[in-house]
Amino acid sequence: MTNLPEQPTTPPQPITPPQPAAPPTPGVPQQPPIPPAAAKGRLSPLAAGLLGLAVGAGLMGGIWAITANSSDEPGTFTLTGTFSLTEDALTLGDTCSGTGGYDDISEGTSVTVYGAKGDVIATGQLGDSEKTGYNSCDFAVAVPDVPRGERFYKVEVSHRGTVQLTAEEAENGEFGASLG
């Protein structure tokens, strides 16, 4: 006879089926299980937060760039007009400037805008000049970013005193002053 290996005396255990899912809780919506392939494509909460932050910052930057490049802020305007020097003006090439007691008047001379309370609210300078007579010339005035809402405005060229304008005159580009 042949020797056979000894056989175990305990019978094999049956395979137990998986436990049934817990019954749904009343009033709580159930979500279907996420297939393993779909779970790999999901963002972690940290990644989703960083992505949201980057998209939000990009949108805000774009909005800022668009509004920053507009000509006037909603609450401001550019005060425009003309300043005339009616004597002792000298023209050299394309540039006009004052002489003698008016030597402080030339392209680039400061223009200050004061509000109704007397505070400085905007500054600019005399722009391009044009000869208008034998010894006179006109200067363009354009002061940007003047806040709206004042009852009146006062404008001063150099240190030569102020000229008062109504709000409507200032906003409509009706500044006009002369010296000489």
Span 17-26, pLDDT tens digits: 666 666 666 6
For residue range 18-70, what is the model confidence (pLDDT) as tens digits? 666 666 666 666 666 655 555 566 777 787 777 777 777 777 766 666 555 55
For residue range 149-160, what is the model confidence (pLDDT) as tens digits? 999 999 999 998
**Tokens standing for residue 122:** 């905007």
pLDDT at 129 over 70: yes
What's the average model confidence in pLDDT over 132-147? 91
